[in-house]
Amino acid sequence: MLSRTASSFLRRSATRCMSTEAATAVKLNFCLPQETLYKGASVHSVILPGMGGEYGITANHVPYVSQLKPGVVKILHEEGSADPEKYFVAGGYALTHPDSTTDVICPEAVKLDDIDPSEVAKKYDAARTKFSSATAGSIEQAEAQIEMEITKEMGMAIGVSLN
Amino acid sequence: MSSTPVTTFWRVAGMSYLQYINKTAGTMRSVLKEPAKTRAMAQEAYGYNAAVWEAGKQGPKLPVANIQQAGK
């Protein structure tokens, strides 16, 4: 009697967690604290700047959780899109669920056109000066390094080379 | 076992993830082009309002210049 109720409970919870059909598209939830960019949008694939490297999610991808580094999120709405929709994000997290729903949560995201190339270059140079003049291991040096990393990534995204 | 810390440079410097992510987001907001920049900078803006209670009654809520002034 006890085993029958336990096994029926497990069967019911398993059907809740896993869908019996394969997903045909990625359901994208892309949100920031101040606005929701996509909610439940059906897309072909999303390419995300994970900490361990850039990776792509298509339908039926293995469930995955990744911290994001500052970089570009590319959304391909249709298969074989020549022109993915790109957002530069400041970091965050991306979670892919077993049913191919992908949640991308970032503190800030902008279109690449909104990035000012001259400001990026100026900020990078200022951060580099701060980095070399700060004491090793201090918070000021860490902050300068953060600024250098993100401005360098932004430069790469918009085609400005900084070093 | 090596004695070098195996973690991110910002943790080694004493920052938390929240401080790190707020710094990256703030840096990103400061290098945007104009209409997007004003909208984004509004995310970082904050202020404080304080109300003084007297004889069991709350006085009006007024903005304070900074948190140090709030208790005065």
How confident is residue A121, by pLDDT bands cut at 50, 70 and 90? Answer: very high
3-class SS of residue A70: coil
Residue B42 lies in a domain: yes
> Are A134 and B14 contacting, i.e. CB atoms less than 8 angstroms apart?
no
Asked if residue B34 belongs to a domain, the reply is: yes
Contact A151, A123 (CB under 8 A): yes
Same domain, A26 and A98: yes
| Separation CA A81–CA A56 (nearest Å) | 14
Question: What's the domain range around B19?
Answer: 9-69
Asked whether residue A57 is domain-assigned, the answer is: yes
What's the Cα-to-Cα distance from B61 to each of B42, B48, B50, B52, B64, rounded to whole Å? Answer: 22, 10, 5, 8, 9
Nearest CB to B10 within list A114, A146, A154: A146
What separation in angstroms does the CA of A103 have from each of A39, A78, A126? 9, 19, 35
For residues A38-60, give the mean pLDDT. Answer: 95
Residues 96-135 of A with CB under 8 A from B: 107-108, 110-111, 113-116, 119-120, 123
Looking at the structure, do residues A146 and A98 belong to the same domain, yes or no? no
For residues A26 and A102, the answer to whether their CB atoms sit within 8 Å is yes
Q: Are residues A124 and A62 in the same domain?
A: no
Residue ranges making up the domain that contains A126: 115-158
A82 has pLDDT over 70? yes
Question: What are φ and ψ of residue B56, in 5° steps?
Answer: 75, 5
Q: How many domains does chain A have?
A: 2
Residue B39 in any domain: the answer is yes
* pLDDT tens column, A101-113: 999 999 999 999 9
- What is the spatial distance between Cα A46 and Cα A34, in angstroms, rounded to a whole number? 21
In chain B, what's the furthest Cα-to-Cα distance?
A: 64
Smallest Cα distance from B31 to chain A, Å: 5
Assigned domain for B3 exists: no
Judge if A102 and A128 occupy the same domain. no
Å between A140 CA and nearest CA of chain B: 9
Contact A60, A100 (CB under 8 A): yes
- Cβ burial of A18 (10 Å; 0-12, 13-18, 19+) is exposed
For residues A101 and A40, membership in a common domain is answered with yes
Q: Are residues A54 and A100 in the same domain?
A: yes
One-letter amino acid identity for A158?
Answer: I
pLDDT per position as a tens digit, A12-31? 655 555 555 788 899 999 99
Q: Give how many domains chain B has, as a whole number.
A: 1
Structural domain includes residue B4: no
Residues of A in contact with B25 (CB under 8 A): 90-91, 107-108
| pLDDT of the residue at A145 | 96
CB-closest option in B12, B21, B32 to A110: B32
Within this chain, do residues A129 and A150 fall inside the same structural domain, yes or no?
yes
In contact, B64 and B48? CB cutoff 8 Å: yes
| B1 pLDDT tier (thresholds 50, 70, 90) | low
B67 phi and psi, to 5 degrees?
-65, -25
Interface check A31 vs B, CB under 8 A: no
- Length of chain B, please? 72
Domain containing residue A83: CATH number: 2.60.15.10
B2, part of any domain: no
Residues A91 and A131 in one domain: no
Do A131 and A100 share a structural domain? Answer: no
Of the ranges A15-19, A26-30, A117-121, B37-41, which one carries the lowest mean pLDDT score?
Answer: A15-19
**What does the alpha-carbon distance between residue A66 and residue A59 come to, in Å, rounded to a whole number?**
17
Cα–Cα distance measured from residue A147 to residue B23, given in angstroms and rounded to the nearest whole number: 8
Question: In terms of domains, do A93 and A125 share one?
Answer: no
Q: Full-prediction pTM beyond 0.90?
A: no
